[in-house]
Amino acid sequence: MSASVSESVVTELVEVAKSIVRLCELAGADASEVLVKDGSELTVKVRMGQPELVQEAGSRAVGLRVFKHGRRAVTYTSDLRRHALESFVAESVALAALAEPDEHGRLPDPDELAREVPDLDLYDDAVAGVDAAWAMKQCVAGEAAARGFDPRVTNSEGATWSRTVGATAFATSGGFAGGFRGSYASFYVEPLCDDGSDPANPKKRNGYWWTADRFLARLDDPEAVGREAARRTVATLGSRKIPTQECAVVFDPEVGRSIVGTVFSVANGSSFWRKSTYLLDREGTAVASPLVTITDDPHLPRAPGSRPFDGDGLPTRKNVLVRDGVLETVLCDVYSARKLGRRSTGSAGRGIGGNPGPTTSNLILAAGTGTRAALLADTGRGLYVTSMMGFGFNPVTGDFSRGAQGFWIEAGELTFPVSEITVSCNFDDLLKRIDRVAEDLDLRSSTACATFRVSHMTVAGT
């Protein structure tokens, strides 16, 4: 079954959103804002060569923010019949009248709203055309490649192929109405190995690899994904602890993106007005190494986090959070911007059932120069981190500590695998100690970075 989303569907959803705005006016609302989403998802999973999951679902739902006498209510429904919508709107307006007043909780000013919807090339009909049978073949091929890569790959957590396609429409009583469609597909393989390097304590080692894109033709070959997943898994065999010490720590792009995401968690309007960030009052000052520039760019064509307007109906724009180590911009939605006495950065995100809040689009730590191999050679001795687990971060103090595994670097090369360790550092120091950034920027996900090195962190092991 094709899940194709035509331009006419987008037009239909925009008209639905506009009609609900009109219903809100008739019901006595002072202002209203409507989000409509229509989409479908397909997930197929194979484990040990056998189908384990085939799941396909579609949905259409409406999220409403309605305002009355300085009060607001947020509601949602999936019943789009005319009489049901009339009741839904009337009940929502009644709820708004019962809410607590909030001087900042109102719609954006009309002059802030988007005036056009740029085409960012976010939809691929080939993704929508994928059926379960084709996805199953990809899973079988990818997992088989992983299992056949090395005899030490003895088990599997499976291979999963997923796609999401849909359309989003938005309308507000302030005058904006628009919509767009999007697609996204991903493939993931997770092999398992038996690690008997310590006969007294045998363990299972797992690894993974994946590919993802908005366009089907840009996905990596499933066999290549499976082989890379197996290579990474086999490489962890014989992992051991290392003595507690301070050393250079190099972050693989696969885990480095979580560091980049943590920057946003303390550089957004909500954390600022709540005073729950160690970066408070530090705009315009150095918060990272001069090698660090972090941008949020929603206008990259075909990129996973791109969008033409934000969750408040404002035009999106490129924002530089950190430029050459200096904190330049704090990402805000309309509400947090008002709480701080400033204007939105066009960075609102919103789900069907909630209020808008600050979010990111394509959050990217800019690539540096030189290859990963050159960075490792220059490092000489230290830790190369390939995965982290747990989440030990205090946004108020900046204290950072996470479990990790990876490889020991000796003489500029990866030597033996390392596990059951913890890397820690105050986050302010971590960012300021970044002294090399490679050129291997990985844009598979909406938060992205290249390989980078922190000059020294505490590594706790034996």
Cβ neighbours of 461 (radius 10 Å): 15
pLDDT in tens, 85-122: 999 999 999 999 999 999 998 999 999 999 999 999 99
Which positions ≥6 away from 308 have C-beta within 8 Å? Answer: 114, 117, 118, 119, 120, 178, 180, 298, 315, 316
Q: Is the pLDDT of residue 61 over 80?
A: yes
If asked whether residues 222 and 330 sit together in one domain, one would say no
Whole-angstrom distance, CA of residue 206 vs CA of residue 461: 21
C-alpha dist (Å) from residue 354 to 33, 35, 73, 351: 12, 10, 10, 6
Residue type, 134: W
If asked whether residues 200 and 72 sit together in one domain, one would say yes
* Cβ atoms of 264 and 360 closer than 8 Å: yes
If asked whether residues 174 and 139 sit together in one domain, one would say yes
If asked whether residues 287 and 366 sit together in one domain, one would say yes
If asked whether residues 419 and 337 sit together in one domain, one would say yes
Task: Classify residue 49: in a domain, yes or no.
Answer: yes
CATH of the domain at 204: 3.30.2290.10
pLDDT in tens, 341-370: 999 999 999 999 999 999 999 999 999 999
If asked whether residues 116 and 174 sit together in one domain, one would say yes
Burial class (CB in 10 A: 0-12, 13-18, 19+), 462: exposed
Whole-angstrom distance, CA of residue 151 vs CA of residue 441: 32
Task: Classify residue 2: in a domain, yes or no.
Answer: no
pLDDT at 2: 59
Domain count, the chain: 2
Which positions ≥6 away from 234 have C-beta within 8 Å? Answer: 149, 150, 152, 153, 193, 207
If asked whether residues 101 and 186 sit together in one domain, one would say yes
If asked whether residues 252 and 199 sit together in one domain, one would say no
Q: What is the mean pLDDT of residues 218-223?
A: 98
Closest CA to 230 of 207, 253, 203: 207
Q: Whose structure tokens read 């590594």?
A: 459
> 233, 266, 298: which is the final residue of a domain?
233
Q: What is the mean pLDDT of residues 385-406?
A: 95
DSSP β-ladder status, 319-323 and 294-296: antiparallel
Q: Which residue range(s) make up the domain with 159?
A: 7-233
DSSP β-ladder status, 245-251 and 381-393: parallel
Side-chain-side CA neighbours of residue 231 (13 Å): 8
Cβ neighbours of 331 (radius 10 Å): 27
Q: Is the pLDDT of residue 28 over 80?
A: yes
If asked whether residues 258 and 138 sit together in one domain, one would say no
Task: Classify residue 459: in a domain, yes or no.
Answer: yes
pLDDT in tens, 125-156: 999 999 999 999 999 999 999 999 999 999 99
If asked whether residues 71 and 204 sit together in one domain, one would say yes
Both tokens of residue 91?
Answer: 């009940």
DSSP classification of residue 27: T
- For the chain, the first-to-last Cα distance in angstroms comes to 55
pTM: 0.95
